[in-house]
Structure 1
Amino acid sequence: MIRPGRNIAIKVPQHRWDETVAFYRDRIGLRVTRELSASMGFDFNGFTLWIDRVPQQSQADVWLELFSDDPDAALARLGSPQRDELEPLDGVTGHWTSDPAGVVVLVRKPREGEE
């Protein structure tokens, strides 16, 4: 079974990061839940919306997360390409892939108590 994960990421070029963070924090009023050196996490109605600064990026991308107890079988079911070269999967059991429109999707096994 494949189901929605808890994370949505917007990968933003470095030159647009500050104004994008300000847009979600100051104009929309989303609550900041986590701050990292190159990422800002916001509460998005129980989900986490990550705004990630990506220096080598020229335009914004949206990346989604899906949960599956068997990420290999889920990837086969989706018929999508494995794209694990996109970003390291440290401590995560799963795969990066993409939908037919090119939206990046992480299909991963949830950690204990994560759902």
Structure 2
Amino acid sequence: MEAGKNIAIKVPLHRWDDTVAFYRDKVGLPVARELDDSTGFVFGALTLWIDRVPHQSQVDVWIELFDDDPDAALSRLGSPVRDELEPLTNVTGHWTSDPAGTVILLRKEQMG
């Protein structure tokens, strides 16, 4: 198992614009990609995503881990399957969480 390439901060709607501006204008991180509800910043070797989540009332940090066999890794971790959190499209893996509740995308890295 190894660290992935993405970290996401899930931000309530009313805090999203200010949070994106903070990382862009005050921290000075370069924008890597902009989507309708997400802005990705260059964060060293990672991408830091600031995701707008209208139905959320607090901030969550979500991380990504890679493993060649996500099902076996999930079993080793003893962590719950949390696939209801967000759809996984074209991804081999699962959403899960650590004991403190931090959401983890445990997936096979896509090559190419």
TM-score range, shorter chain: over 0.9
Give the letter aligned to residue 32 of structure 1: V
* Cα distance between partner residues in 2 of 1:85 and 1:14: 21
Task: Output the TM-score relative to the length of structure 2.
Answer: 0.99
Deviations 1:19-61 (A, max 9, x none): 0000000000000000000000000001000000000000000
Give the letter aligned to residue 96 of structure 1: W
Structure 2: tracts of 5 or more residues without a match: none
* Cα distance between partner residues in 1 of 2:65 and 2:45: 15
* Cα distance between partner residues in 2 of 1:89 and 1:81: 16
How many residues align? The count is 112
Query: Which 4+ residue blocks in structure 1 deviate beyond 3 angstroms?
Result: none
- 1:11 Cα deviation from its structure 2 partner: 0.2
* Cα distance between partner residues in 2 of 1:92 and 1:107: 10
* Cα distance between partner residues in 2 of 1:103 and 1:11: 11
Structure 2 residue 40 is the aligned partner of structure 1 residue 41: yes
Which residue in the other structure is 1:101 paired with? 100
Which secondary structure does the structure 2 equivalent of 1:50 belong to? strand
* Cα distance between partner residues in 1 of 2:2 and 2:21: 31
Structure 2 residue 56 is the aligned partner of structure 1 residue 61: no
Which residue in the other structure is 2:7 paired with? 8
Identity level (%): 72
Task: Output the TM-score relative to the length of structure 1.
Answer: 0.96
Deviations 1:53-88 (A, max 9, x none): 000000000000000000000100110000000000
Structure 1: tracts of 5 or more residues without a match: none
Give the superposed CA RMSD: 0.5
